[in-house]
């Protein structure tokens, strides 16, 4: 039952997000916020595919233990692409609210992101032999969480200031994604069932993309964005 449910869910997720991303890219100008949203969707699907495809194969064949290396590789790639995801989302924020001359903020986002990626590259993470040490899972997720908190604050502040109805829940999707993700990071070894929280975490990311997609559709119909 788990294998069937996860496989269907993951396939619908990967295919659906990819289609939305391609549509947003094809229907948007290259310098627009919605083009970036499309790129963001494809980055999300691309990164997650490296983890989810081996997982689907493992669940439906000889078991996940025979795919430990590929699952670890997928988690490593996903850790990088999710960092890129939030950097792109930061630029969506800048374009949507016409933010400029914030070099210090740009620098902060880049520094946090670079620190996160460097921590992910350190061999002590032991990506390819299971979950790796808890300490390094925590270390590498400290800058990732700081980046998430920063993006949450930026969207919350501007959504309220601009009364941006179409993006009013963007900050909430990010809060939810971290609320479901961080318990898995900390407790998965002791309580394997907590890994099920990755499903609602994925749904939170899908919600983020759909916010951009539906805002784009409204703009096509010349409706007010904010």
Q: What are the average pLDDT values for consecutive 10-residue runs of the chain, which has 226 residues?
A: 89 97 92 93 97 94 91 96 97 94 96 98 93 93 97 96 94 97 92 91 96 89 51
Do residues 78 and 48 lie in contact, with contact meaning Cβ atoms separated by under 8 Å? Answer: yes
Q: How many CB atoms lie within 10 A of CB 174?
A: 24
Query: 2-220: what fold?
Result: Rhopdopsin 7-helix transmembrane proteins (1.20.1070)
Q: What pLDDT sits at residue 224? A: 46
Report helix angle 68-96 to 33-60, nearest 10: 160
Q: What pLDDT sits at residue 225? A: 46
Distances (CA, A) of 154 to 3, 94, 105, 117, 224: 39, 10, 10, 22, 21
Q: What pLDDT sits at residue 1? A: 75
Do residues 9 and 16 lie in contact, with contact meaning Cβ atoms separated by under 8 Å? Answer: no
The position carrying tokens 């979950």 is 131
The position carrying tokens 């988690």 is 75
Residue 111: which H helix or E strand, with range? Answer: helix 103-121
Distances (CA, A) of 71 to 56, 130, 135: 10, 8, 19
Tokens of 21: 């991303």
Q: What pLDDT sits at residue 150? A: 97
| 3-state per-residue secondary structure call for 14-83 | HHHHHHHHHHHHHCCCCCCHHHHHHHHHHHHHHHHHHHHHHHHHHHHCCCHHHHHHHHHHHHHHHHHHHH
How far is the C-alpha of 88 from the C-alpha of 44, rounded, in Å? 11
How far is the C-alpha of 141 from the C-alpha of 135, rounded, in Å? 10
How far is the C-alpha of 156 from the C-alpha of 90, rounded, in Å? 13
How far is the C-alpha of 70 from the C-alpha of 55, rounded, in Å? 9
Q: Which of 171, 173, 201 is nearest to 185 (CA)?
A: 201
């Amino acid at each position: 039952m788990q294998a069937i449910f996860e496989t269907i869910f993951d396939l619908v997720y990967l295919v659906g997000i990819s289609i939305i991303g391609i549509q947003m890219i094809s229907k948007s100008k290259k310098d627009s916020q919605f083009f970036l949203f499309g790129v963001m969707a494809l980055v999300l699907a691309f990164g997650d595919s490296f983890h989810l495809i081996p997982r689907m194969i493992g669940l439906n064949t000889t078991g996940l233990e025979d795919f430990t290396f590929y699952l670890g590789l997928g988690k490593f790639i996903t850790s990088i692409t999710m960092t890129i995801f939030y950097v792109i989302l930061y630029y969506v924020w800048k374009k949507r609210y016409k933010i400029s001359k914030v070099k210090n903020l740009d620098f902060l986002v880049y520094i946090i992101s670079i620190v996160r990626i460097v921590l992910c590259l350190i061999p002590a993470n032991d990506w390819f032999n299971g979950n790796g040490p808890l300490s390094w899972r925590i270390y590498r997720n400290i800058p990732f969480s700081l980046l998430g908190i920063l993006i949450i604050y930026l969207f919350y502040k501007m959504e309220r200031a601009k009364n941006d109805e179409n993006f009013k829940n963007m900050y909430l999707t990010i809060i939810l994604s971290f609320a479901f993700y961080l318990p898995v990071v900390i407790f998965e070894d002791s309580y394997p069932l907590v890994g099920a929280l990755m499903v609602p975490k994925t749904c939170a990311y899908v919600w983020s993309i759909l916010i951009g997609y539906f805002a784009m559709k409204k703009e096509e119909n010349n409706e007010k964005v904010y």
